[in-house]
Amino acid sequence: MICISCGRTHRYIASSIDQGMHWLRSDDAVGLGICSFCEDSVPAWDQGARDVRTLAIAKVSNKRETDLPGWLIENAKIPSLPHVLIEIYKELESDTAGIERMIELIQTDPGLTARSLQLGNSAYYGSSKQITQVADAILRVGPFDLWALLISTEVKSLFFGIRPDLLDMNIFWRHSLLTACACRKLAEQQGIGSPGDLFIAGLIHDVGKLVFLQQMPIEYADVVASHTFGDDCSQLEERLLSVNHAEIGAKLFESWNFPERLIQLTAEHHSADADDPDVMLLRQANGLAHHYLDRQSSDADQEGEQQVDMGPIIALYERLTELVL
C-alpha cells in the first residue's frame, strides 16, 4: 500500500503507528491509499482520485471552491515588490529621514539604481548634464518624488497578460496613480495619517482586480459585463464570486509581508461603514480620481470635488504621469 499523496508505504505507516500514523483511506484492489499525514487529500480521494495527476487536479479544484482567496494568491504569477521600496518609504516617513540612508537602500538593488539614474537623466528635468550617482538623482528629482516614481513603475511592471477587452490598463494605472496623489495631498492638507502610507494605499488599492483578471478572466468577465458606472463593483464581485478585490488585494500584500497598516487599508477601502479616518480619506481620494478621469459622476460627487483644492493633486499627478505612464 502506498499513499498517493506523499508516497509513504504501508511499512512506514505500520512502523509509525505509535506516532499516530494510520491510513485514512485505502483501496486494497489497487494498493493505494491516503495516510493520516495527508488529510487534505481525502476529499479528492473521495471524489475518485486514484493517481497523482488526478489527485493534484482534484485538490486544486477543492482549494478553489473552499478557499478562493488562498487559491488565487497561491497561483498568482506575480513577483513581490522589492522590499527595499517599503524600507525607503519608512525612512522618508521617519523623524530622522535623510538621503544618506535612502542612497544606501537604493544601491542595494541594481534595478532600482539603474531606474533612479534613468529618471534623473530624463529630459523632463531639463538638464543636459548627465548624472551617474544615485545621490544626484535624489537631489534632482526630490526624495519623495523619486521614491514615488520608483514604486509606481515597479507596481505597474508586475502585471501583464490582462485581456484588453476586460480592462484598459492605461486607464487603470492612471486611476491608481491619481488616487495615490490625491491620498498624499489630502493627507497633507487635512493632517490625517501618514502621506506615505496613504500614497501607497492609493496606488495599490485596486490590485486585487488584476489578480482576478489574471487568474479568472472568464469569471471576472461577468463582473465587467454586469458593472455599471457609479455602482460599487465590490458588491457585484461578492455576489458573483463570493469575494471582492479588496480582500484579494489584502491577501496578496499579506503574502508579500507588507506592513499591516497597508494591508488593512486595502482590505477596508470599500467598507462604507468604516470609521477609520485613513480609510475614509482613501475612499474620498478614490472617488475624486474616478470623477476627475471619468467626468460621469453624480452632482453630489461634483460638489465634493469642488470642495477640495485639486490643484496640488493634479500637479503631482501630471508630474508623475509623464515619467511613469
Local confidence pLDDT in tens for the 325 residues of the chain: 888 887 788 888 888 887 788 999 998 888 889 999 888 788 888 888 887 666 655 655 666 667 888 888 887 777 777 888 888 888 887 777 678 999 999 999 999 999 999 999 988 887 778 999 999 999 999 998 899 889 888 888 888 778 888 889 999 999 999 999 999 999 999 999 888 889 999 999 999 999 998 888 888 888 888 877 666 789 899 988 889 999 999 999 998 888 899 999 999 998 878 889 999 999 999 999 988 887 644 444 454 455 788 899 999 999 888 888 7
C-alpha cell at 1: 500500500
Class of domain 155-324: mainly alpha
Composition of the chain by helix, strand, coil, percent to 5: 70, 5, 30
Delimit the domains of the chain by residue range: 2-66, 155-324
CA 164 to chain centre: 19
The model's pTM is 0.74
Please name the residues in contact with 133: beta carbons below 8 A apart, sequence gap of 6 or more.
none
Please name the residues in contact with 84: beta carbons below 8 A apart, sequence gap of 6 or more.
105, 106, 108, 109, 112
